[in-house]
Structure 1
């Protein structure tokens, strides 16, 4: 982490500035319903290079010719969607910040997804941190020489593609009321697409439509933000709209199958200095004697639900479907971010865009601060200097 930026930020920090920042961040948008942290993370050049290297190791696996074969069982039969494309359009990799054996800050992989995250909001967040706290204009959340303008051009290229923006819709179950709705609105403002709830979309034959005024508009592409795990098998949500598992004349950005292919399921196939030991539970021949150093995770869960942190042997032996669980060596987060009341743990998400016919490109990041047992917002409700944030680097 960069000590000078941190020291300067903390010396000038005040609760009044934080509340002014939050007001500026939310101006013109619906209320932000998740906690945004008091501070960004300042990423050093050394940590930046480690993050890039860690991401490249994962990309190499995903680009293997046999990747689809390796991950065929990752997709639950009941949620398989037809017409899958060759690669995901979004990749997000979560890394906990730890100390390596030499005492240096190093990233360790926690989770990964072939699914979009807060691609619109993170740029908006970084810009408002810089403005509200009067940070150095040289600081950026972007990688690979991107700036706000070129980043949103690339995002539009990936999401809208050759279509007109009105033919492309951002879809979720109840989109305007999702916790991450501000991301939807920032994205729509920047690239011109429509935000629709599932029930706003109607099917005629194999085609999908929405109405705007008296006009019926065919949907050519769906920027999909619907996660099947969130509806917990309740397919009645499709009754007044359409079922994504049907044969449809629509393009998916990104195709729902990639949510499963690139996930906790992928981690046992990885190894390297930035990846903790991870095995499918049904392939664990002997239960480790040091279970306190492991965490047990269900393959099919959302936002950390079902994870067992303090694993006991009885937890393992009582599982009826071990093929749907992984046993992973715990990652020990280092409290690397210095707050006015002590060290805070941090996690950084690398966010890639993968345009059709091109290579995946590392673009921007998301970060989270935590004092709780787990990183997620629900585990940090009673603390300050926690929540969603962004990493800033010297450009």
Structure 2
């Protein structure tokens, strides 16, 4: 989107340079990269950077309201409330589609947000790989609030560890060595000492939790949570000593309840020119006549599952009245293809990544994640067998 940076990058790009770029990742982290990394970063011009920052401020104004917890009590599904919730999330990810406004100017439109960690370990590494392999302007940065990857990782380390030793903190997942995001777990451990531990490997004695580390039994004092309830529900005959809903003597770094509170459930509460109109389906006595301009989303789903982007009245009618509180009707966003590839334009989504230490009144923007798409939606299923798509990082003009 910054024309000069794009032209310079594309001139240096070739399938061979991209393959060398990917080969270097595999060499650094053998067997860990299990999702598609796009051929290019995104170069974000100042006009769009400023709008993204304003949009994030608008959203955070709602998240920091005194009554936010009251407004989102119903967001936590029955049977999935975890004890000992803190006052606010410690991670915030806000996803924007890159669009054009009525004047043709670049503008962000909110797609989703989550009070849950993303690829905080992988993104600084990915940015450094792009810089090592391609000409990236020195005055553009993938970081906010800090100026170097070292300072960024120091912030992440402080957030995860608190006053604990690294071995007393775990990254919690289910079968972490099989997760597509496992490269992030490995990089997180390299940077912080926090190791990924499977839920099935945790033992419980009273209110205390333990795991085996290098042949020793270690008490868990803090949990960096990367586990999503939705995944557990799809695993049959799962036997664990520790259930997420147990009242245990640990401090959560990213409490599980915030995954639900800051989610699609939050969208109808937001008011900003950068947030498309959203309604709980159950709140509507009649539905918009132009349903083709809306998206139907189940509130309690993950990674885009169950989303309908071309809806009709029949789609709504088949949802029982008693279940409509679990659905969201959101005005459709038109992604604008703005990334110039060698053979056409590509759509882009930008995820702004925040950390929120417990003592802070507001979250701090620290880095980002980008996703490129040629399909109808951003997800993997819509971009199979395509190039210049997948995960990436953005370099911002400020």
Same-fold call, TM cutoff 0.5: yes
For residues 46 and 145 of structure 2, the distance between their equivalents in structure 1, rounded to whole angstroms, comes to 13
- 1 CA distance for matches of 2:186 and 2:38? 20
- Tell me the residue number matched to 1:152: 153
What residue is the counterpart of 1:107 in the other structure?
A: 108
Identify the residue that residue 258 of structure 2 maps to in structure 1: 258
What is the distance in 2 between the residues matched to 1:215 and 1:34? Answer: 33
Which position in structure 2 is the counterpart of 1:289?
Answer: 289
- Give matches, 1:288-367, under 5 Å: 288-320=288-320, 321-358=323-360, 359-367=362-370
| Secondary structure in 2 matching 1:124 | helix
User: 1:32 matched to which residue of 2?
Assistant: 33
**Structure 1 stretch displaced more, 178-187 or 127-136:** 127-136
Q: Which 10-residue stretch deviates more, 228-237 or 247-256?
A: 228-237
Mean CA deviation greater in 317-326 or 282-291: 282-291
Pick the aligned partner of 1:372 from 372, 375, 393: 375
Secondary structure of the corresponding residue to residue 375 of structure 2: coil
Per mean C-alpha deviation after superposition, the further-off stretch among 327-336 and 205-214 is 205-214
Quote the residue 2:20 is aligned against. 20
- The 5 A counterparts of 1:1-395 are 1-29=1-29, 30-232=31-233, 234=235, 236-237=237-238, 239-320=239-320, 321-358=323-360, 359-394=362-397
Q: CA deviation at 1:136?
A: 2.8
Q: Is the 8 A contact 1:37 1:388 kept in 2?
A: yes
Compute the displacement of 1:234 (Å).
4.9
Report the Cα offset of residue 13 of structure 1.
1.0
Q: Provide the rounded CA distance (Å) in 2 between the counterparts of 1:243 and 1:234.
A: 14
Alignment partners' CA distance in 2, 1:215 and 1:145:
37
Q: Give SS of 1:5's match.
A: helix
* TM-score, normalised relative to structure 1: 0.97
The alpha-carbon distance between structure 1 residues 236 and 247, as it changes in their structure 2 partners (threshold 3 A), is farther
Count of paired positions: 394
Task: Give the whole-Å Cα distance in 1 for the aligned partners of 2:345 and 2:237.
Answer: 46
Alpha-carbon distance in structure 2 between the residues aligned to 1:145 and 1:288: 45
Cα pair 1:130 1:137 within 8 Å, conserved: no
Alpha-carbon RMSD: 1.2
Could you say what secondary structure the match of 1:140 adopts?
Answer: coil
TM-score by length of 2: 0.97
Deviations 1:292-348 (A, max 9, x none): 101100000110000011101010011121100000110000001011111100000
Helix, strand or coil: the match of 1:249? coil
In the TM superposition, structure 1's runs of 4+ consecutive aligned residues that sit over 3 Å from their partners are 233-236
Q: Where does the alignment leave 5 or more consecutive residues of structure 2 unmatched?
A: none
